[in-house]
Each structure stands twice: as C-alpha cells, then as structure tokens.
Amino acid sequence: MALQQQWVINIQQKLDQGGQVETDELWTKHSIYKVPNWMKDGERPNDDKIAGYIPEIISFGPYHRGQSHLQQMEAHKWRVLNHMLKRETQDITLYLTAVQELEDKARACYDSPVSLTSNEFVEMMVLDGCFVLEFLRGRAVGGYNNLGYKENDPVFYKDSICHVIAMDLMKLENQIPLIVLQKLLEVQYNGNATVKDVPMLVMSVLTPRWVTVNAPRTEDHLNDMRDVVATEHGSEPMVHCLDVFRRSLMYQPKSRPNKLKLEEDCGQSMANCVSDLREAGIKFKPRNKLPFWDIQFKQSSGVLEIHPLAIDSASETVFRNLIAFEQCHMTYSWDMVITNYIAFMDNLIDTAADVAYLHDAGILVHHLGSDGEVADLFNRLEKKVYVDTKKGRLSDVYQKLNEYCSKRSNRWLRKFAK
C-alpha cells in the first residue's frame, strides 16, 4: 500500500524543523533553568514554594515576573532605580543602551523561551539588575547610608526583608545573567568596573558561612578568592549569583591544593548509615579543613572525617537550588560536587539517632526543631535526584569504607566460626 504523499510531506517538514532547532539552539549557553518537574518533591507537587524553588518576596528575571505575591516589591524596584540614577547623576538611556547590546546573549542564558518584546526584556534586565546591585553594594560595602538611603527605608533597613531577598537571590529560576550585572556596574562606574567586582560583591553577601561551620572570615575568604575569580573568568566564566555562591563553596586554601583526582568506576556504592558504620568500628571526627565537601576516610585508624555542617531553616532551599543547578548544568557526576556531598550525607543519615550522634561528634550543628527534622531534610533532598556515587568525587571514600566494613565483617565471622 502506497504511503499518502501529503502525510510524508508533513513528516518531512517536521524533521526539517527539528534539524533547524538543533542548528539554531544555543544549548551550550544556557545557565538559568526552570527546575524540571521530575526534581520537584512528589509528596508536595502543588506547593513549590515549600520546596524552595519559587521566590518568596521578589522576582529577578522573566520566570516569575508578574506573579501576584511578588508585586509589592515592583514599586520598590522603581524607587531604587530612580534613587540610583539621581545619586549617580546618570540618564536611564545609558543603561538601556548598554543592556540592549547584550540582549541576545542574555536571552540565551534562559533555557525556556522568554515571551517578552525587546523593549520589555531590556527594561526588566535594567530594573531587576540595578536592584540586585544596590542590594549587594549596601550589604557588602559600607551600608546603605553610604548609598544615600535613609534609615527608615522600608526594605534595605529591615534585616528580615533583606534575608528573604538574599534567599531569593539563591534560587535557580530567579537569576539575572552575570554579564548583565557586570555591564550595569560598568555603566554605573563609568567603565571602571572589572570582571571581579560583581562576583566579589556576591560573595560578600552570599557567604560560605551559610553552609559551613568554622568557615573563614568573610574578609579573608574574599582576599583568597580574588585570584580564583580571575582564573574562573579566564576559563569558564561564572554565570549568575547562584553559580558564584557554589564556586565559593568549592574554594580551598592555596596551601592545600586539591589532591582528589577523577576516579575510575569503583563498582560499589555505600548504603550504610551512621549506626551501621559505628557497629563496623568506624569513628567520626570533625574535619576543619576546606573545602567542606572534601570528606576523608583513614583506613588505618577507621576514622571518617567530615567538615562541620550548619543546618537551619534556610538549608533546604540553599541545597535544593545548588543541586538543581548541578543537575541541569553539569554534564558529569564528577562535576556535581554538592549533589555528591548531599548524597553521601543522606547515606549516613537515616534516623534521628544518626543525626544525634553526628551532632554530639561536632559534625552537624542544627537549629531545627528536632533531630528527626534534620533526618527528614536529608532524605528529601536526594529524592528524585540523579547521582552516580561510583564515579563522583567521593567514590574513593565509598570504596574505602566498603573495604573496611568488609574486612571487619569477615574478621567477626571468623571469630565466631572457631
């Protein structure tokens, strides 16, 4: 039976369209993603705000623009932009023109189509981007009074509101491309800003102290990170505020270069919680050396060293968005550093008793209602997340733990077989 000619023509047209999409699509430039549905918490499918992906108070960029619960801050964005322009005695056209030149690159950062006209998109980038810069500058450099804001400012002089804004800056779907922020700062500084300036502002506000106990003082951390920022910009540029925060967590002192190397597939993964590992004779000890995710196991002594971790009401949001970024942006498990770390901790923590022991050992410091809430948090974080523990950065730790537990188990069996 002969195929219908029109049907074949229609299929060919669809194939041609698919080929054109592959040719035109700028996948390699995507960096700001909508969190995939498969990553969202299946137990709470209709409440993404609880899951920590939806901004609570302010929208940055197109994905949550216009949502009713975020409208109150729109008037403040315009107030802040007007204040900034008057302070710097600059015309808005300088900013609009500068961002318009970046429009195509900025649009390409978003993985979902942005249905805004050119004027609407550029206006949004300038309005949102200038607010972000004012927020960061006031928090990082000398306070908002140096920027001309009065002490009765309804936004910048309220710590509770500023904390929520900082949290909204951590959300993957709520990002402004770093190239836009950098361009806006260059205009504001009359061309005197450098590629280091915006990342350094971000790291002054979104600090590793949100995650790690005994993190370096912000000033010391920033001084050490200056060269890192320059290096990163020379190879793989930072793309937005969440990315800057993630890379600041990757930092380790120059005196302690990263000795980890890409491991071959060790063919094993660990499924032992703290209680099981303790029964196997493994001891737990705080590791006060950066980076925080660099867990070490010493087979000779049976000691597992983990950097102390701070857990509070913001931790779930922070880790969810870091993991979502890695899942969407990174190609290999080796690069999913935070995902691998959380997977390891989830393996360790099954129950409240596991949390209690790690707390007593000085490894977990938490401010939640109970140890059980912390256990539930880690169990939720890894839900529906892809992680290959056999090829990740901690694969060698898994392997050493398995070998140690296996030897201890064999010795125990031989003892009772006599």
Mean pLDDT rounded to a whole number for the chain? 82
Q: Please provide the DSSP assignment of 161-181 as one string.
A: HHHHHHHHTT-GGG---HHHH
Pairing of strands 303-306, 296-298: antiparallel
Higher pLDDT, 273 or 208: 273
Q: What confidence tens digit (pLDDT) does each residue in 80-128 have?
A: 999 999 999 999 999 999 999 999 999 999 998 899 999 999 999 999 9
Answer for the pair 302, 258: CB distance below 8 angstroms, yes or no: no
Mean pLDDT of 252-261: 48
Q: Of the ranges 36-45, 50-59, 212-221, 307-316, which one carries the lowest mean pLDDT score?
A: 212-221
Please give the full DSSP string across 188-231, using - where no structure is assigned: HTTT---TTHHHHHHHHHS-GGGTBTTPPPHHHHHHHHHHHHHH
Closest listed residue to residue 225, CA positions, set 206, 136, 305: 206
Answer with the residue of higher pLDDT: 7 or 110.
Answer: 110
Q: What pLDDT is recorded for position 224?
A: 61
Q: Report the alpha-carbon distance of residue 246 to residue 323 in Å, rounded.
A: 10
Tell me the pLDDT band of 176, cut-offs 50, 70 and 90.
Answer: very high
Read off the amino acid at residue 199. Answer: P
Q: Which stretch, 1-5, 13-17, 203-207, has highest mean pLDDT?
A: 203-207
Calculate what percentage of the chain has a pLDDT beyond 70. 78
* pLDDT grade for 266, boundaries at 50, 70 and 90: very low
Residue 255 has pLDDT above 80, yes or no: no
Q: Strand, coil or helix: what is 7?
A: helix
Residue type, 110: Y
Residue 386 pLDDT: 74
Q: Assess contact for 301 and 295: CB atoms under 8 A.
A: no
For residue 193, pLDDT over 90 is answered with no
Reported pTM: 0.85
Residue 264 — pLDDT band, cuts 50, 70, 90? very low
Q: For residue 253, what pLDDT is reported?
A: 58
Residue 22 pLDDT greater than 80, yes or no? no
Give the pLDDT of residue 16: 74
Answer yes or no: are the C-beta atoms of 200 and 133 closer than 8 Å: no
Q: Most confidently modeled of 28-37, 156-165, 198-207, 250-259?
A: 156-165
Q: What pLDDT score does 19 carry?
A: 62
For residue 237, which amino acid is it? Answer: P
Would the pLDDT of 250 be above 90? no
Q: What is the model's pLDDT at position 256?
A: 45
C-alpha closest to that of 118 among 103, 97, 128, 135: 103
CA–CA separation, 147 and 129 (whole Å): 16
pLDDT higher than threshold 90 for residue 290:
no
What six digits make up the tokens of 61?
């960029």
CA distance 327 to 308: 25
**CA gyration radius, the chain:** 24
Q: What is the pLDDT of residue 410?
A: 47
Structure tokens at 136: 């960061």
